[in-house]
Amino acid sequence: ARAPLPLHEMIRAIRSARTQCEERGVIQRECAAIRAQFRQADNGGRSHNLAKLLYVHMLGYPAHFGQMECVRMIGSPRYSEKRVGYLGAMMLLDEKQDASLLITNSIKNDLSHSNQYVQSLALCTLACMGSAEMCRDLASEIDRLLRASNSFIKKKAALCAVHIVRKVQDLGELFAPAARSLLTEKNHGVLHGAVVLITELCERNPETLKQFRQTVPDLVQIMKGLVISSYSPDHDVAGVSDPFLQVRILRLLRILGRNDEAASDAMNDLLAQVATNTDSTKTVGNAVLYETVLTVLDINSESGLRVLAVNILGRFLLNNDRNIRYIAMTSLQKIVGTDHNAVQRHRGTIVDCLKDQDASVKRRALELSLALVSASNIRSMMKELLLFLSSCPPELRSQAASGNVHIHCMIVLHTNTGSAGGDVRDETVPNLIQLITNTSELHCYTVHKLYRALLTDISQQSLVQVACWCIGEYGELLLRGECQEAEPVQVSEDDILDALETVLQSHMSSPATRAYALTATMKLSTRITDNVDRIRSIVSIYGSCIDVELQQRAVEYNALFKKYDHMRYVRKSVAFFMFFIIVASLPVCCNLQAYDLLDLLGGSEESLQPSLAPSRGDLLDLLGLEATPPAPAPTVTVYEKNGVTVTLSCEKQSDSGLTVTLTASNCTDSDISSFTLQAAVPKSVQLHMKAPSGDFLPSQGTAKVTQMVVLSNPNKVGLRNLWLHT
């Protein structure tokens, strides 16, 4: 057989191959020669042959036949062979292969070797590919090495212990005492390994986390020493003393200070010192500052310190490095809800990032800009966002249109040619109605803009629905013709009714859109004086509509005209406000569909407590029961499966609030523990689940679990479903 080539000549031959086929030929010949050498009982080139095989493995070719050679070389007394054997084990073996178990005893022996470099090889191999079984067998050896006097061994033992904790979490308690003692070391490598190990222990065990909170003063002192230390050539990186250790300590402080006042107070001064003394002109300084910011924002820090952290992120936004700008906006996005005012100070810089050429930066800037829109800056922000929307990439247009649910932008999105009206999501309508309701200073502006949009185009259903709702609610502002923020326009009662009738008669209008238009028309009967008969005529036409929902609304509205027409102007603030909630806001899935309108419209203020009917019957019958007392809330079974039954009863607390009582029982022969009830409603409705009576359901229905759920619908948006999950 041909003698194998030396390593450097094999590498030269492979690199000089002109084709893939020629390269495979070289490798196949060398692998055949290496196999022949492995079969010999003894040869002086074992490490040389295994090194060549590892190079072949790095190129992606099969090298599994060298696994057993690795095992044999690890057991060799020669350091040169042992070194290549351990390297081969880390590259060719993993915990899934049986051959890895054969080196456990060799690793254990080498961990006790007198040569620190042999010990180091064993530690590195165990940390790289040690299985759970190997970790359990050798954990005590690692704990012993953590207490050794040799710093070189201790730092490698600490990192090996990290791997063991990740593989076998229960072994974390074994390393906790030694890990804490390592914090007194002066060697930076040992300190780095100790901090990484403590971080791993705290993340995996809450009890260990409580214990290590006592080390916060020690960590603060170590960090202060790094911040104020003089130049050290061994640890200095671009003028920052050991930034790697600083970052690790800051991450550990973040974990220790989270949700703990005492620990947070102990590190506040240090964080302020790091934030003000670290050089932000270098990348390593920015890395330390970024970890400082994350720590400040995650612990219970002082308000002034949080503002300082936000200002650091604001400086990041001005950095030329796009990666730094990206992480700055990502961090600001997370805190915009809690530190809104501090983030608002950097609004101009954030908006400028919308012009960035990088798509990821542009996306982050868009998300953050949308989160910063408020009633005070809506006009200026909408101008910037609309400018961005006109030129943004197609992949961002849907996101911009869906998130941009604010008044002015939404109108332009639907009315301008080329905008993203078709990309707006279904939940936009209730979201926009909620925004309009809460922004009273823009009611006049909004109703004028939406009325004009309605005259221009009625093909966009979401816009038409919001426009109809606004006209019904704020029609009197439209009739006045006075609006400081929009071009004044003189609108007559007939003009408004013509617009609503166009929506009702259009083939483009969906049933839901027609319902909005019909309700708006009915509301206007309390706001206009000369066209009540026309409104009555419009409503009566739909009393025989083929759409059941629209027909029912028309019949109910006609009933109000017939029996309670004399109360329209006296009680309009109560009648129609309540009526809109009645028709649109009851949970259909519970079959509790009709309040007694007689109590709402005909009685005194004390009689406004509504009653509940078990089904949606003929509202005319209800209107005829003038002396009927309120009926008790019925109980409805909403879940019955596998022996568990959940019933529901409702009680109206206010004109926008509803209290739901859920009662669960267990009729099986076995007890049920850790029982929970979950409920979900649309975003426009506020849900508050009070504490349940318990979480244990005994068998045979001997006891029940009850829980009250409070639903608040301040914006009178239709609530169609209440989702329950047990």
Residue 197 phi/psi, 5-degree rounding, is: -65, -45
Per-residue pLDDT at 260 exceeds 70: yes
User: How many residues in the chain?
Assistant: 726
Six-digit token string for 199: 């971080």
Residues 558 and 416 in one domain: yes
Residue 371's pLDDT band (boundaries 50, 70, 90)?
A: confident
Is residue 130 included in any domain, yes or no?
no
Residues 519 and 427 in one domain: yes
Residue 419: CA count within 13 A, CB half-sphere? 21
Is residue 664 included in any domain, yes or no?
yes
Alpha-carbon torsion, ordered 137, 142, 147, 148, to 10 deg: 110
pLDDT at residue number 424 = 55
CA distances 123 to 92, 104, 146, 539, Å, are: 17, 12, 11, 84
Q: Which residues contact 472 (CB under 8 A, 6 or more apart)?
A: 516, 519, 520, 521, 522, 523, 524
pLDDT at residue number 178 = 92
pLDDT at residue number 341 = 84
Task: Please name the residue that has the structure tokens 């690199």.
Answer: 15
Q: Are the CB atoms for 34 and 49 separated by under 8 Å?
A: yes
Is residue 479 included in any domain, yes or no?
yes
Is residue 425 included in any domain, yes or no?
yes
Residues 566 and 645 in one domain: no
Residues 564 and 652 in one domain: no
* Nearest-angstrom CA–CA distance, 419 and 417: 6
**Dihedral sign (CA 366, 368, 369, 373):** positive
Q: Are the CB atoms for 320 and 356 separated by under 8 Å?
A: no
* Nearest-angstrom CA–CA distance, 713 and 687: 9
Is residue 85 included in any domain, yes or no?
no
Residue ranges making up the domain that contains 711: 635-725
pLDDT, one tens digit per residue, over 56-86 is: 899 888 888 888 888 888 888 888 889 999 9
Residues 436 and 536 in one domain: yes
Q: Per mean pLDDT, which range of 392-406, 430-444, 484-498, 676-690 is the poorest?
A: 392-406
Residue 398's pLDDT band (boundaries 50, 70, 90)?
A: low
Highest mean pLDDT among 240-249, 439-448, 589-598: 240-249
Q: Which residues contact 641 (CB under 8 A, 6 or more apart)?
A: none
- Which has more pLDDT, 35 or 162? 162
Q: Which helix (H) or strand (E) holds 622?
A: helix 619-624
Range list of H helices, 299-422: 303-316, 322-335, 340-344, 347-352, 359-372, 378-391, 394-403, 407-415
Collapsing DSSP states into helix, strand and coil, what is residue 496? helix
Specify the CATH number for the domain of residue 647: 2.60.40.1230
Q: Are the CB atoms for 125 and 132 separated by under 8 Å?
A: no
**Which whole number is the average pLDDT over 263-268?**
90
- Provide the whole-model pTM: 0.57
Residues 676 and 541 in one domain: no
Is residue 57 included in any domain, yes or no?
no
Residue 632's pLDDT band (boundaries 50, 70, 90)?
A: low
Residues facing 649 on adjacent strands: 635, 661
* Nearest-angstrom CA–CA distance, 38 and 605: 99
- Which has more pLDDT, 8 or 580? 8
Residue 602's pLDDT band (boundaries 50, 70, 90)?
A: very low
**Which whole number is the average pLDDT over 324-352?**
86
Which of 476, 481, 568, 553 has the alpha carbon at shortest distance from 517? 553
Residues 567 and 461 in one domain: yes
Residues 428 and 566 in one domain: yes
Residues 639 and 533 in one domain: no
Residue 409's pLDDT band (boundaries 50, 70, 90)?
A: low
Amino acid at the residue 334: K
Residue 389 burial (10 A CB sphere; 0-12, 13-18, 19+): buried
Six-digit token string for 488: 């004044």
pLDDT at residue number 165 = 93
pLDDT, one tens digit per residue, over 121-167 is: 999 999 998 888 889 999 999 999 999 889 999 999 999 999 999 99
Six-digit token string for 335: 């805190």
Number of Cβ within 10 Å of residue 528's Cβ equals 18
Residues 531 and 649 in one domain: no
- Domain end, chosen from 522, 554, 571, is at 571
- Domain end, chosen from 542, 571, 600, is at 571
Residues facing 166 on adjacent strands: none
Is residue 484 included in any domain, yes or no?
yes
Residues 525 and 434 in one domain: yes
Six-digit token string for 34: 């290496």
- Which has more pLDDT, 488 or 547? 547
Per-residue pLDDT at 427 exceeds 80: no
Per-residue pLDDT at 681 exceeds 90: no
Is residue 709 included in any domain, yes or no?
yes
**Which whole number is the average pLDDT over 641-669?**
82
Domain count along the chain: 2
Residue 332 burial (10 A CB sphere; 0-12, 13-18, 19+): buried
* Nearest-angstrom CA–CA distance, 192 and 461: 61
Rounded mean pLDDT of the chain? Answer: 79
**Which whole number is the average pLDDT over 10-15?**
90
- Domain end, chosen from 571, 596, 611, is at 571
Residues 421 and 560 in one domain: yes
pLDDT at residue number 622 = 34
